[in-house]
Structure 1
Amino acid sequence: MISIEKVLYTSHTYTTGGREGTGRSHDGRLDLKLSPPGTPGNGTNPEQLFAVCWSACFLGALRHACNARKISFPATAAVDAQVDLVHGEQGFFLQARLAVSLPDIELDIAQQLIAAAHQNCPYSKATRTNIDVSLTIA
C-alpha cells in the first residue's frame, strides 16, 4: 500500500452516455462531447483524452528530470502519444507509444531523462505492467 502524505488535487467530473455522451468537470473548465473512436462526428474519445493527458503529464515529469539534473528544459519539447484500443482473446485493452522530442539534448542524456520521467510520471506509474508501452526518441 502506498503511503499518502497529502492530496494535491482532486479532479471531479460527470459523464453521461458513455462513448456517445458528454463529459464535464464540476468547475466548468472541461465540457466536451464524446464519440466512439474511428466514427465520424464532432466529439473526442477516451483514447484521445488519455493520450493528451498522459503526454502532458509526461512532459511535466521530463521537466522535473531536467531540473533535478540542472539541464535546461527545451521550450519545444514534445510528446507524440498514440494510444490504441485493441481487442484480443481477453477482451478490450490499450497499448501505447510515446515518441519524445527533446531538441538540443544529446541522445544518451535524452534517453536517461525519458527513463527517469517514465519512472516518475503518475500516468506511467498507473499503466506500468498493465499495458504495453513503447518509448522512443523522436
Structure 2
Amino acid sequence: METLYTAIVSNVGGRDGDVKSLDGILELDVKRPIEMHGEGGKPNPEMLFAAAYSSCYNGALMAVAERRKVILPEHAVEVSISLNKDGNNMSLSGKITVKAPGMDHEELQQLAETAHAVCPYSKAVKGNMDMKIEVMV
C-alpha cells in the first residue's frame, strides 16, 4: 500500500480547546455545543468529522459517476453525525443525504450506494457506526 498523504493535527483542551495542523493550515478553537451544556459558537468534533466525511464522500460520488459515464447534475452531499449516549457508553451514528434535483431517483440511489462502498471514510466507519443513506431528487 502506498501512502498518498498524512494529515497531522493536534488538540489541546479536548472539546473546549483548539486544534492545529502541523503545517499550520488548520488552526481553530473547538467548543462543546450548547446541546451538551457548552458555550457553542465554534466548531466541535462531530461538525469537523461531518465536514471531512461529506468532502470525501462527494469526491467518491463524483468519481463513481465519471467512471459510469453518468452526468451528475449540480448536487450537494450533507453528512450528519450524531453523538449518542447509552448509559456510560458513547457512540456515533450518521446519515449521508445526496441531493441532486432532476436526476432519476434509482440511478442516484445506485451511485450513492456505490460511493458508500468505495469512500475511504465509509470504509473506516463500516461496522463501527450506523450510517444511513438517503437520496433526494
- Which whole-Å CA distance do the structure 2 matches of 1:16 and 1:90 have between them? 24
Displacement after TM superposition at 1:89 (Å):
4.0
- Which whole-Å CA distance do the structure 2 matches of 1:130 and 1:8 have between them? 24
**RMSD of aligned alpha carbons:** 1.3
Alignment partner of 1:135 is 2:119: no
Partner in structure 2 of residue 110 of structure 1: 108
Partner in structure 2 of residue 57 of structure 1: 56
Partner in structure 2 of residue 19 of structure 1: 15
- Tell me the TM-score normalized by structure 2: 0.91
- Which whole-Å CA distance do the structure 1 matches of 2:12 and 2:102 have between them? 45
Q: Which runs of 4+ in 1 moved over 6 A?
A: none
State the number of aligned residues.
133
Q: How does 1:77-92 map to 2 (within 5 A)?
A: 77-89=75-87, 91-92=89-90
- Which whole-Å CA distance do the structure 1 matches of 2:116 and 2:71 have between them? 19
Unaligned runs of 5+ in 2: none
- Tell me the TM-score normalized by structure 1: 0.90
One-letter code aligned to 1:58: Y
Three-state SS of the structure 2 residue aligned to 1:134 is strand
Alignment partner of 1:40 is 2:36: no
Contact 1:59 1:77 in 2 (8 A): no
Unaligned runs of 5+ in 1: none
- Which whole-Å CA distance do the structure 2 matches of 1:93 and 1:29 have between them? 29
